[in-house]
Amino acid sequence: MKILLTFVLGAACASATARTPAVNPMPDGSRDMYVGLGFVAAPAYEGARRPRRMAVPVLQGEWSNGVFISGMNAGVHLSDQPSLEFGPLLSVQARRSESGNGTALGGTSLTSMTDGGAPLAPIDSTPAEPTATPGLGARSSGPNRLSGMDVVGARLQAGGFVNVYLSPSLRLTNSVLYGAGRDANGLLWNLGIQHVVQQFSPHHSVSLSAGVSVVNRHYNTSFFGVSAAESLRSGNPAYAPGGGLNGASAGLRWHWALSPSWLLINNVQATRVLGAAQKSPLVERPNGFVLSTALAYRF
């Protein structure tokens, strides 16, 4: 779910994240890049009961001028204060088809494999199932309740982020993105908190995160609403949700530095669909779990 903190940010978590490129100034002309391969197991779409498992490429980088890329997100750090991060943010919303969340150009990041960032050409291990067109009032017999629903295309979202450090290990994250949904008018506001547990060995560290998301009516209508035409095709009752609180998540991430160049990141996250979205006939199960692991090389 997008609720998995795409506060990227610095790439922050939801993956909120150890994830964000460092805010300390880098030497002019320098960069810090990670590339690798990961595996993600998550609900096929927000509120789905059926899991989806994907092998995904991971990508994260930062340049000395403040520009960073974190999976499907990109932005610029404009602050020169160590306790404050802010700047513009761009993010690609993945395509959602009848089979669930799909792919978009790009990759996912080490710190936001589960924050809604879509992978590039994932290897989906979930067997394909035929999609049937039900009659009026009949429940879809396809792979999930999205059968018969309109496709939500990939969209470029624009906005900004503001992160505040309450201490060296505790950060409040905040990001706003506009442009999601069928008509590119969906608004997503993510709020979160991240805590980096004191490193318990030279090569291991653990971080905790939690967050909520707030959306406008257009966002919920695109991902959780059912129009009259979609109701006829899918068998789902028509539903027009309003905006408001949309979801919540809590997660734990374990970083293992295998060497100065190789990093293994494991993440487990619990999510829940809330508000008007939870009442949608598309939601099969409001609670979900996301598991991910990634091996990356730094250069």
Among 91-105, 112-126, 177-191, the minimum mean pLDDT is found in 112-126
Q: How far is residue 89's CA from residue 188's CA, in Å, rounded to a whole number?
A: 13
Structural domain includes residue 19: no
Structural domain includes residue 279: yes
E strands along the chain, which residues? 31-43, 51-63, 67-70, 73-76, 84-93, 96-97, 100-101, 123-124, 155-167, 170-180, 186-201, 204-215, 244-257, 262-273, 287-298
What average pLDDT score do residues 169-188 get? 96
State if pTM tops 0.85: no
Structural domain includes residue 26: no
Structural domain includes residue 6: no
Number of folded domains that form the chain: 1
3-state secondary structure of 224: helix
Which residues make Cβ contacts (< 8 Å) with residue 64, sequence separation at least 6?
25, 26, 27, 28, 29, 30, 31
Among 46-55, 106-115, 138-147, 240-249, the minimum mean pLDDT is found in 106-115
Structural domain includes residue 22: no
Confidence of residue 242 (pLDDT cuts 50, 70, 90): very high
Q: How far is residue 296's CA from residue 57's CA, in Å, rounded to a whole number?
A: 9
Query: In the chain, what percentage of residues exceed pLDDT 70?
Result: 76
Whole domain around residue 290: which residue ranges?
A: 31-298
CATH number at residue 160: 2.40.160.40
pLDDT at 139 (0 to 100): 39
Structural domain includes residue 25: no
Joined together, the tokens standing for residue 255 give 């970083």
pLDDT at 110 (0 to 100): 52
- Helix residue ranges per DSSP H, the chain: 217-224, 228-234, 275-278
What average pLDDT score do residues 160-186 get? 96
